[in-house]
Structure 1
Amino acid sequence: MSKSTDKPRADRRLLQQIISGLAEGVVLLDPDGAVVWANETALAIHGAGNLAALGRTAQDYVAAHTLKYRNNHVLAPAQYPIMRVLAGESFTDVVVEVTRPADESFRRIHQVRGLVLTGASEEPEALVLVIQDATDRYGAEERFERAFSTNPAPAIICGLTDLRYLKVNQGFLDMTGHDREEVLGRSMYELDVLNEAARRDEAIRLLQQGRTIPQMEATLRLKDGGTKLVIVAGQPLEVCEDPCMLFTFMDLEPRRRAEDALRQTEERFSKAFMLAPVPMAVCNRGDFALMAVNEAFIAATGHEAPEVLAKTPADLHLWADAAVHRKLKDDLDATGSVRNAEVALRTRGGDVLDCLLSAETATINGQACVLVAIQDITDRKRGEEELVAAIDAVMQDASWFSRTVIEKLAQIRRPQDTLASTAALSELTPREYEVLGRMCQGENNEQIAAAMRVSPNTVRNHIAMLYSKIGVHRRSDAIVWARQRGVTGYEAPAKGRRHARPR
């Protein structure tokens, strides 16, 4: 009997020596439920310093540890791997989460195998638990799972063995309108994420080889039957040790809508630009080189579009006055726009046109530009000059016009806004004031000289000083200036008063 009992113990010691240095944890049990031995790895991955802390029996082990499956389902005592192997069951790769009620900080993920060792009589002689600490691996997978699920960027994972989808995040479901159940388990042939890809053949080849698929444009089919333009890329990875491909997407629909809106805006601008009745041009911001001109510009200047494009106004001698370029550039640098600047424009035939030029800085196709509009006022200005000459001739003797007529003529002769910044009556000397009043009465220089008892030359000097002070250059403008301030004539001062009273 002694020999029969000593041999199994010798065999067990030999077995213990063989497995003591293994990287996996090994726990040996007797068929009666006693835990007879555990290697250092088994103790360490249970957070136990000795066999007593691990549990002297299977029941002690169950009491000292709480086990859950990966779906958070708590195992009943009979489902513990140690109890299953004690019941004579062999099994492989049971993954459980192990915690210790006595230590809230302890948490491990164990991958367990159960072995039943039998003797010559086929009766169990030793029961073995082989335990691998999978905490790091499953922890990394948990972190990946959380990051994958919460990442707002659409993503989907396809197994490379059967090309079926294993995982999908909410971003992909939101983008395509599919439900999770409609995606998981489907193959790439049913839900083609490389549909109409720019380099589809290359992408399929790389997918078959399990290699990285670079970014490329593709068109995803949506649940509602529509499509969505995306950028798709593929990155190989392993999920549960199976080779997979992670597809990520960037939604290009907002960009496509913006590009469509921009294109429509540019088309509308182009049509309005070409059909505008006034000459218009788009110039480079730096040197005013012409980038585009409309039909009205061609008609006004006599230049054809091919001969003006990419040329500056200086190249075409468009400005009759070379100083115009510098003035326009300074104004645009200061305010970004020019409004109704009077310029002289030279045509291809050499004629000079009087024009009003307006300009506005703009960005077109990412380039700093200036949009220029020109109004030809040559005929209007010529007519105004003829009218002003006629009014000047009439107003040489304005004594017989009523005040209302004088003011109406003055408004035609000189717009109101040009008189806004003139001097006050108080700045005039008594002599200048008298000259102004007599001019308003219609007296000429000789009549004024006789009334004031001075020479005509003195009167001319007074008139020159008067013009300088009130900012005019013509007799008619001086009369208008005076009428606007209530001066219609001159009344000699009464005795005791120093200045004449305006009337």
Structure 2
Amino acid sequence: MAPPEKALQSCAGNSHLRQIVAGVSDGVILVSPDHRIVWANDRALAVHGVETLAELGGTAAGYRARFELRYRNRHPLGAGEYPIERALAGESLDEVVVEVAAAGAEAPGWTHQVRSLVLVDAAGEPELLVLIIDDQTERYSAEQRFERAFNANPAPALILRLQDFRHIRVNRGFLEMTGYREEDVVGRSAFEVDVLEGAARRELAVERLGEGRTIPQMEARLQLPNGAEKCVIVAGQPIEIGETRCMLFTFADLDGRRQAELALKQSEERFALAFRLAPYPMLLAAQEGLRVMLANEALTRETGHAQVDVVGRDARDVPLWSDPAADEALQAAMRREGSLHDLPLALRHKDGRALPSLVSAEAVEIRGQPCVLLAAHVLPARDHSRAEIAAAVAAVMTDPELIAAAVLDRLARGSRTEAPAAAVVTGLAPRAREILALVSEGLDDAAIAARLGLSRITVRNHINGLYRRTGANSRPRLIVWARERGIVGAAAAATPAARG
């Protein structure tokens, strides 16, 4: 056979050859009837990932040894099934699509769409086989990415081919929402699985579908395989898959949304009921400015402010607090901590009276708006002085428990009857009195045990007995009790009578 240069020259008048030479955008491979690869353009080499003609394998069998081909359904091609071999066997190829990988590669590197031509000599005998390769790698890669995204998308969707109005793709989201199986949908016509049935604007949707135009969102009722219906929002978007015009339908499950809305409504109703019937004054306010959004009946009852006096106004403008600075302090604390518990504040009655209270607050979000839910426990009159003194002592003392207990007990005791102090003190055993005196000095159990040569268990037993005899329920209160009665230090321990 003539060398390829002469073969090309001998066929220079052939219109097919001129088209091949001009078609530089496609890969072109020339194969002789004896199966030798005699020529390839640069594009053909590039879409095989090689640089020289020899790297194509030299012959049809060599090509098969160097490259692994498979169809797009992952079925590998065997001997005699490669496009080059089928064309040499006399088969005319028209857009055969194969995935191509170098031998041993884990994944295909290219996707080829292959056509074939046969050039004949003057006698009509085959002189050259021409393979025309259109590199479709990017296109099919994009389709694969779309397929993966479509299948992985949790939003229900299916694809209808506009050529014959048959469903060609359905994702898991649609199957799970409706209960259909894939075989119940794919291949079925739009009349068998009618996703526009019961659509609010069905005539418009059908018209747009026939024209291949966007179908706007609208409510529809899907017929489910079990005979039930499902309310959805459906929309259609025209797309192309390869060269095929299609309509992508997407759905939103209204049943689930309505159930969530119903649950939210029920939750809000329960909150409103609990809020309204709460025994303590409560209000819901915007976080910034404390503009009151809701106030319960207990707030009206305790402060004398009607709903119209409070709702829609800032707390400082009502005014809600006796201390004008309380509003800013409360907002600053909420921004810093996010919640408050039993903060001593005084509500302001409509008549101007201060109502000492313990205020708790939590940051909440209502329909996307940052809010504060406040609850105030208005203290009974008998607890006012105790609460105020506790707050004052806590503000100035580093260890308020010791001093506050004595002050609060003395001021809040009122007319309460207690056992005569002298009787209790006189009845103490010498060792117990001695330990009580050392406790009043501030010594701990270990120091007392070392001072008196006793075990810590013995000291602890005596202190527990002192708790029972004096009515004190903590060490600070026991110290206060002893000091009120003059039992401090070793000298007091030796004195049999109380001085308080």
TM-score range, shorter chain: 0.5 to 0.7
Q: Does the 8 Å contact 2:361/2:374 carry over to 1?
A: yes
- Checking the alignment, whether the CA contact within 8 Å between 1:332 and 1:338 is kept in structure 2 is no
Backbone CA RMSD of aligned residues: 5.6
Alignment of 1:340-351 (within 5 A): 341=344, 343=346, 345-347=348-350, 350=351
For residues 466-486 of structure 1, the C-alpha deviation after alignment (integer angstroms, 9 at most, x for no partner) is xxxxxxxxxxxxxx9999438
Q: Could you say which residue in structure 2 is the equivalent of 1:485?
A: 482
3-state SS of paired residue (1:73): coil
- Among 404, 420, 424, which residue is 1:403 paired with? 420
The alpha-carbon distance between structure 1 residues 240 and 323, as it changes in their structure 2 partners (threshold 3 A), is closer
Q: Which moved more, 1:363-372 or 1:255-264?
A: 255-264
CA contact (8 A) 2:309 2:318 kept: no
Residue 369, structure 1, aligned to residue 386, structure 2: no
Quote how far apart the aligned CAs of 1:217 are. 8.1
Conservation of the 8 A alpha-carbon contact between 1:149 and 1:170: no
Alignment partner, residue 132 of structure 1? 133
Paired residue secondary structure (1:92) = coil
Instruction: State the Cα deviation string for residues 19-48 of structure 1 (Å, max 9, x = none).
Output: 333334556667x65669645368635658
- 2:285 is aligned to 283
Whether 1:502 and 2:491 are equivalent positions in the alignment is no
Which of 248-257 and 181-190 deviates more?
248-257
Deviation at residue 381 of structure 1 after TM alignment: 7.8
Separation in 2, partners of 1:487, 1:103: 93
> Corresponding residue for 2:244?
242
Show the counterpart of 2:148. 147
The 8 Å contact of residues 203 and 213 in structure 1, kept in 2 or not, is answered as: yes
Any idea what the Cα deviations from partners look like across 1:156-186, whole Å, max 9, x if unmatched? 3332333332233445444544332223123
CA distance in 2, matches of 1:483, 1:66: 94
After superposition, the Cα gap between the structure-2 partners of 1:371 and 1:259, relative to the gap in structure 1 and judged at 3 Å, is farther
Within a 5 Å distance, the mapping from 1:318-397 to structure 2 comes to 319=321, 322=324, 325=327, 336-339=339-342, 341=344, 343=346, 345-347=348-350, 350=351, 352=353, 354=355, 356-365=357-366, 366-375=369-378, 377=380
Q: In the aligned structure 2, how far is the partner of 1:425 from the partner of 1:59?
A: 106
Tell me which residue corresponds to 1:463: none
**Which among 255, 270, 273 is matched to residue 272 of structure 2?**
270
**Alpha carbons of 1:425 and 1:75: their partners in 2 closer, same or farther (altered >3 Å)?**
closer
Give, in angstroms, the shift of residue 242 of structure 1. Answer: 1.0
8 Å CA contact retained: 1:343, 1:354 = yes
Mapped pair 1:69 → 2:71: yes
Q: Distance in 2 between matches of 1:42 and 1:314?
A: 79
Provide the rounded CA distance (Å) in 1 between the counterparts of 2:40 and 2:255.
Answer: 60
Q: Deviations over 1:406-438 (max 9, x none)?
A: 99xxxxxxxxxxxxxxxx9779xxxxxxxxxxx
Paired residues of 2:31 and 2:39 also in contact (CA < 8 A): no
The verdict on how the C-alpha distance between 1:135 and 1:308 changes in structure 2, with shifts beyond 3 A counting, is closer
Q: Distance in 2 between matches of 1:208 and 1:67?
A: 40
1:167 corresponding residue in structure 2? 169
Distance in 2 (CA, whole Å) between partners of 1:361 and 1:226 is: 45
2:11 aligned residue: 12
Aligned to 2:94: 92
User: Aligned equivalents of 2:358 and 2:107: distance in 1?
Assistant: 80
Residue pair 1:92, 1:113 contacting (<8 A) in 2 also: yes
Task: Tell me, in whole angstroms, the C-alpha distance in 2 between the residues paired with 1:332 and 1:42.
Answer: 69
One-letter code of the match for 1:346?
H
Q: Is the 8 A contact 1:43 1:49 kept in 2?
A: no
The more displaced of 228-237 and 276-285 is: 228-237
Q: Partners of 1:105 and 1:303 in 2: how far apart?
A: 77
Is the 8 Å Cα contact of residues 110 and 134 (structure 1) preserved in structure 2? yes
1:273-307 CA distance string (max 9 Å, x none): 22234443333444444322223333444443234
After TM superposition, the score normalised by the length of structure 1 is 0.58
* Partner in structure 2 of residue 158 of structure 1: 160
Same amino acid, percent of matched pairs: 34
Shift in Å at residue 150 of structure 1?
Answer: 6.1
Q: Secondary structure of the equivalent of 2:184?
A: helix
The answer to which of 74-83 and 203-212 deviates more is 203-212
When residues 294 and 200 of structure 1 are mapped into structure 2, their CA distance, relative to the original with a 3 A threshold, is farther
- The 5 A counterparts of 1:207-222 are 210=212
The count of corresponding residues between Structure 1 and Structure 2 is: 407
In 2, the alpha carbon distance for the partners of 1:107 and 1:272 equals 66
Amino acid at match of 1:133: D
Q: TM-score, normalised by structure 2?
A: 0.59
Distance 2:354 2:108 in 1: 92
Specify the structure having the higher radius of gyration (Cα).
1
Contact 1:94 1:111 in 2 (8 A): yes
- Secondary structure in 2 aligned to 1:178? coil
Cα distance, 1:268 vs structure 2: 0.9
SS at match of 2:94: strand
User: What residue identity is the alignment partner of 2:482?
Assistant: R
Given residue 403 of structure 1, which amino acid in structure 2 is its aligned partner? Answer: P
Equivalent residue letter for 1:356? S
1:111 counterpart letter in structure 2: Q
Counterpart-to-counterpart distance in 2, 1:189 and 1:343: 72
Q: Any idea what SS the aligned residue of 1:339 has?
A: strand
Q: 1:271 is aligned with what amino acid?
A: L
Unaligned 5+ segments in structure 1 are 1-7, 383-387, 408-423, 428-479, 491-495
Read off the aligned partner of 1:373 and give its amino acid letter.
A
How do residues 465-484 of structure 1 correspond to structure 2 at under 5 angstroms? 484=481
Q: How far apart are the structure 1 equivalents of 2:325 and 2:191?
A: 70
- Residues 153 and 248 of structure 1 are in contact (CA less than 8 Å); yes or no, is this contact kept in structure 2? no
Secondary structure in 1 matching 2:13: helix
CA distance in structure 2 between the aligned counterparts of 1:54 and 1:481, rounded to whole angstroms: 102
SS across alignment from 1:371: strand
Contact 2:275–2:296 (Cα < 8 Å) also in 1: yes
CA contact (8 A) 2:119 2:130 kept: no
Whole-angstrom CA distance in 1 between matches of 2:314 and 2:12? 100
